[in-house]
Chains A and B, each alone.
Chain A
Amino acid sequence: MNATTTDTHHDDHHDHGPAPGLMRWVTTTNHKDIGTLYLWFSLIMFFIGGAMALVIRTELFQPGLQVVDPQFFNTMTTMHALIMIFGVVMPAFVGLANWMLPIMIGAPDMALPRMNNWSFWILPFGFSMMLSTLFMEGGGPASGWTLYPPLSLQTGEAFPFLIFSIHILGISSIMGAINIVATIQNLRAPGMSYMKMPLFVWTWFITAYLLIAVMPVLAGAVTMLLTDKYFGTAFFTAGGGGDPVMFQHIFWFFGHPEVYILILPSFGVVSEIIPTFARKKLFGYASMVYATGSIAFLSFIVWAHHMFTVGMPLSGELFFMFATMLIAVPTGVKVFNWVATMWRGAMTFETPMLFALGFVIMFTIGGFSGVMLALAPVDFQYHDTYFVVAHFHYVLVPGSIFAIIAAVYYWIPKWTGNMYDEKWGKIHFWTSTIFVNLLFFPMHFVGLAGMPRRIPDYAVQFADFNAIATVGAFGFGFAQLIFVYVVFKCVRGGEKVTDQVWEGAEGLEWTLSSPPPYHSFTDQPVVK
């Protein structure tokens, strides 16, 4: 593989550098530029969504109503979720996919570069529209991100703006997913067979199919809400012959695959990082691929475990309970493989590895509480309590978010050509890990004791744990400023890195120079 020489081949009729000025970013069709845009966008949204989380935690610091009124509190929980899901985790992974997929499979760019530009640039408009609802008469949406009717139908003027912004975000991610599928299917370098693809590529390949399958269903569900409110249909209005429970079925038919959309690329990231720093090949590559596929398949037949309490026949509860618990098997295979990869490896603990290890341990905690929630009889106790909040935050924050941060630390030397500040990276990891547990672990206890979610006030016996969680929230939030500092410092300069960057790193992306040329792999590399 002599891919590093690609930047020295010049065709006269080809533009080889980025266009100067700001318009470069608006009109770009370059996968690296678009990846960068996605990543910056999600970083900004991370702080907006995080600020909303801090409003929530400030109100919950003490029992009683102190800071915000309940309506605004509910708006915060709703917007925090929508932003973190659609504005942070999904764009961050699409950004990583844009940056890494082409250079991991030896492609010159994404398959549909112009559409790639669109799929990013409609996002800021979608989110401007969504955030603008905060300033509207009647306030922003306050029904929870799940938008259950009839409550969500009582949203004020914000409602159509919310629905249209969800449409835009959906279109953006569907276009991104189509692009990823087209790239992986058509632009792999000669010799890069499916079973030789890096796992990050594999997990994104499957995630992209999930996106194509379920984002349109969400679009359909919110369109039904829209017509119910403004055009006299009665999909979910019981008075007109509809059924509000049906919304929950349609929503979670989208919603459950969605949670795997948020986590599968993290599995890919971690499966790249652990072998590098354990200096061993990934244990059980094929089983990782099949496990990812099984999780994706199972995600379509478990949706009703989100709604055990709506009044389902016993047979339905049993089916969804067992199907859900079945997901623990392929997920367990993955965790086992990560541990086995590290077994007797020559491990070092640079920041990406620390975040990946934190991911494995804390994601597993979230996975276990997931199995607890899957048990229909006990779910009646846990439903809509802080136990659920603790569960999905464990899989999303020290899960997905840690994996995204790990990926940034892992690949940023490749992107910039500069090594990040290892000392501050480690400080970032340890502060994040300590505070994230301080933040979310006590939620298990108050949840089991019966504290309901999405309510701004609580009984006094929950006061201590809530105060601890709030301290953790502020600690975790401010710890992320370290991340911003490290990223800025790395972008501006630092110790130059080699092409391979990490001693144990393997794969096509490490054969390119650091930073890679603006147009890489214009001559196809050959994979043996």
Chain B
Amino acid sequence: MSGIRPRRNRRGVALLFLAPVLMFGFGYLMVPIYNIFCEITGLNGKTGVVSVSEVEGMAVDEERMIKVEFTGSLNQYAPWDFAPSQASMMVHPGRQYSTSYVATNRLDQALVGQAVPSVSPGRAASYFSKTECFCFTRQPFDAGESRDMPLIFIVDPDLPRDVDTVTLSYTFFDVTELSAN
């Protein structure tokens, strides 16, 4: 063998080893890619967040009424009560509305909760935005504490015409362990 071949082989093998390392990284890269993809497409009912200035730019569609339904559920058995304060409301697209969810910690120790929203139908998700929401942050509860958690939302006037009902669902997770970390 000439002197050239082993060096070329070594480079080839190095490349072959590099490929799995890069692919391992690619696995992790799929996490942000997935999140961006979901944000753009509204996949998985991930809802949008809008700033106050954007809201002021929206024209209110007085002619259209959308029914917004609220549901709340617990992820696992946990000593919470969690429910919307009103089951549904009629809204005009382009106008801000506020409502709230009520949560009660029935345990005699402090807990931390996190609400995760989902909107159905999925294609309405990107038109449903919140300017203020208890789901933006983790919610610490003292032992036995009960609290009204506010939610301010707006439905984009560009919502497809055939959608007349939008369901906002919150799942409440016990993240006491996660936030201890």
Give B10 Cβ to nearest chain A Cβ, in Å: 10
Residues of A within 8 A of B17 (CB): 178
B34 touching A182, Cβ below 8 Å: no
Whether the pair A250, B20 counts as a contact (CB closer than 8 A) is no
User: Given that A182-B12, A240-B114, A240-B178 are contacting pairs, would A235 and B31 also be in contact in the complex, using a CB cutoff of 8 Å?
Assistant: yes
Please tell me if the beta carbons of A243 and B44 are within 8 angstroms of each other in the complex: yes
Q: How far is the CA of A431 from the CA of B43 in the complex (A)?
A: 50
**What's the Cα separation between A239 and B9 when bound, in Å?**
49
Q: Give the size range of B's interface with the partner.
A: 35 or more
Interface-central residue, A185, A219, A240, A316, by most chain B CB under 10 Å: A240
Instruction: Tell me if B19 and A212 are in contact (CB < 8 A).
Output: yes
Segment touching A, from B21-29, B49-57, B96-104: B21-29
Among B35, B123, B181, the residue within 8 A (CB) of A232 is: B181
**Chain B residue at minimum C-beta to C-beta distance from A174:** B20
B30 touches A249 (CB 8 A): yes
Report how far A185 CA is from B11 CA in the complex, Å.
13
Q: Is B16 an interface residue (CB 8 A)?
A: yes
| Distance A181 CA – B122 CA, assembled complex (angstroms) | 45
CB distance from B130 to the nearest CB of A (A): 15
Interface positions of A from 210 to 261, Cβ below 8 Å from B = 212-221, 224, 231-232, 234-235, 237-241, 243, 245-246, 249-250, 253
* Contact across chains for B178 and A232 when beta carbons are under 8 A apart: yes
For B12, B13, B38, B181, the residue with the greatest tally of chain A CB atoms inside 10 Å of its CB is B13
Q: How far is the CA of A316 from the CA of B23 in the complex (A)?
A: 24
- Enumerate chain A residues within 8 angstroms of B19, measured Cβ to Cβ: 212-213
**CA distance in complex: A240, B176 (Å):** 10
- Among the listed B24, B178, B181, which residue makes an inter-chain contact with A216, where contact means beta carbons less than 8 Å apart? B24
Closest Cβ of chain B to A168, distance in Å, is 14
Interface segment, one of B62-70, B86-94, B148-156, B167-175: B167-175
Q: How far is the CB of A257 from chain B (nearest CB, A)?
A: 11
The smallest C-beta distance from B175 to any residue of chain A, in angstroms, reads 4
Taking CB atoms, residues of chain A closer than 8 Å to B45 are 311
The CA-CA distance from A306 to B36 in the complex, in Å, is 22
Assess whether B116 is interfacial by the CB under 8 Å rule. Answer: yes
- Chain B residues positioned under 8 Å from A311 (CB to CB): 44-45, 122
Let me know if A221 and B27 touch, CB within 8 A. yes
Bound Cα distance A221, B9 (Å): 31
Q: Which residue of B13, B25, B31, B35 contacts A178 across the interface (Cβ within 8 Å)?
A: B13
Q: Tell me, in angstroms, the Cα distance from A468 to B30 when the chains sit together.
A: 44
Contact B9 A186 (CB under 8 A): yes
A332-B165 Cα distance, complex, nearest whole Å:
46
Cα distance A111–B25 when bound, in Å?
A: 27
The 4 closest A-B pairs by CB, nearest first: A220-B27, A239-B173, A232-B181, A216-B23
30 A-B pairs, CB-CB below 8 angstroms?
Answer: A178-B20, A182-B13, A182-B16, A186-B12, A212-B16, A212-B20, A212-B23, A216-B22, A216-B23, A217-B23, A217-B24, A217-B27, A217-B30, A220-B24, A232-B178, A237-B173, A238-B75, A238-B116, A239-B114, A239-B173, A239-B174, A240-B114, A243-B34, A243-B44, A245-B44, A246-B30, A246-B34, A250-B30, A253-B30, A312-B43
Q: What residues make up the interface of A, taking CB atoms closer than 8 Å to B?
A: 111-112, 174, 178, 181-182, 185-186, 212-221, 224, 231-232, 234-235, 237-241, 243, 245-246, 249-250, 253, 311-313, 316
Question: CB within 8 Å of A: which residues of B?
Answer: 9, 12-13, 16-17, 19-28, 30-31, 34-35, 38, 41, 43-45, 75, 114, 116, 122-123, 171, 173-175, 178, 181
